[in-house]
Amino acid sequence: MRVTTAFNRILDLPGASVATVSFTDEGLVLGLRRRRRRLVCPCGRRSRFHYDGSRRRWRSLDFGTCKVFLEAEVHRIDCPACGRVRTEQVPWARPGARHTRDFEDVVAWLAQRMDKTSVARLLRCSWEAVDHIVDRVVVEHIDDTRLDGLLRIGVDEVSYKRGHRYLTIVADHDSGRVVWVGRERTKQSFEAFFDALGPTRATRVEAISLDGSSIYLPVVRERIPQATVCLDPFHVMKWTNEVLDSVYRAEAPRIPLGPGLPTRREWRRTRYALRAGWERLDNDHRDIVNALRRHRYKLWRTWELKERLRDLYRVVDPADAAAYLKAWCTSALRSRIKAFTNLVRRIRKHFDAIIAAIRLGLSNSRLEGINAKIRLIQRRGFGIRDVDSLTAMIYLCLGGITITLPAEGRP
């Protein structure tokens, strides 16, 4: 068997065959012979005529400890469709790349699972090369079709840098994929998502989950008025816990010491008994709560109203949720605890969105999980160079991109 035949079977290159084999100081260089005569522009237009030509190399996957390079003649095309001179598209590499598709697919697959520095060391390339490869792979896989078929979506922000730097994340509840990453936490950034979505696909959105922020809600009501707005239960309970904390700060210094009540130091250590659910408390913590009912009824009443609101999401039938929440608001106002006044006003403002979240079973828990994974991507990379690099990694890891390794699907 000829050496070139052996390399042809090993590489299985599309549209070319190995013509020459040479060993250099850099590694193994394989000269390629093109099979097709027609040249292809990156825009897809084909031509038989070229502007000029040159010899170019592409880094391929290593053979053991030896680096491998592919070398072939490439041409530039004066493309009428593009209106400028562009380098032709070769079938074994992506446009503008100096690495083969197989090499870049392996890099992208590893980048989904490890930091870029480790990938660069493993494959003996530069960190910048890994970063550019991730960008090219994401551009190839993430297209406008990812916005097709969106019925239930969620929106949330995630901080990526100190100084209140945020990204806007839009995810599909049904698939769990990130479908949009906005550069800022602004109305303009969220409106850009609907501009990309288009009016036809926007009318098909049935529900959207979000927090109580004033940034996203006005855009939702303007761009998808037919969609059901679902307020995230986590934020409702967060508001309630803020009320509990304010009452605690006012009452804790006045808590008496005596039998059945903890010392001030013990009280600070067991403070979470008020914020934790009743089912999570042990006997000691339940004794503390019962003692508060006898000695500090206002604080206990605040805790009891918090637990009743938790029951709205835990045990109340969705069909009875509206009546239950109305009764809870009445009880909160009758408690004469001033901190509940603003909370009830806020709940009544978002009443329909709270009930819709219960009936449809939607929350931003999926978005919170995505945010945790984004922070993991940042920690795994020991920081991100810029927002564009972070956006590309979010799409690569959380955008539903499946990388097919070179050995998969081949005998």
**What are the pLDDT digits (tens) for 206-242?**
999 998 778 999 999 999 999 999 999 999 999 999 9
State residue 270's pLDDT score: 54
pLDDT at 252 over 70: no
Tokens of 137: 């792979």
| Mean model confidence pLDDT for the chain | 88
| Tens digits of residue pLDDT in 87-134 | 778 889 898 899 999 999 999 999 999 999 999 999 999 999 999 999
Rounded CA-CA distance 282/285 in Å is 6
| Tens digits of residue pLDDT in 386-409 | 889 999 999 999 999 999 998 886
Tokens of 283: 């006997």
State residue 343's pLDDT score: 95
The size of the chain, in residues, is 411
Residue 120 and residue 127 in contact, taking contact as beta carbons nearer than 8 Å: yes
Tokens of 67: 């680096």
Torsion, Cα 277 283 289 294, to 10 degrees, reads 150
| Tens digits of residue pLDDT in 288-346 | 778 778 878 888 899 999 999 999 999 999 999 999 999 999 999 999 899 999 999 99
Tokens of 315: 């045990």
> Which distant-in-sequence residues (6+ apart) come within 8 Å of 349 by Cβ?
none
Q: How far is CA 92 from the centre of its chain?
A: 31
Q: In Å, what is the CA distance from 381 to each residue of 130, 384, 399? A: 12, 6, 18
Domain map (residue ranges) of the chain = 1-94, 144-231+365-398, 233-360
Q: Of 3.30.470.20, 3.30.420.10, 3.90.550.10, 1.20.210.10, which CATH number belongs to 144-231+365-398?
A: 3.30.420.10
| Tens digits of residue pLDDT in 168-179 | 999 999 999 999
Beta strand 39-40 with 28-34: parallel, antiparallel or unpaired?
A: unpaired
201-236 exposure pattern, b = at least 16 Cβ within 10 A, e = fewer: ebeebebbbbbbeebbbebbeebbeebbbbbbbebb
pTM of the model: 0.86
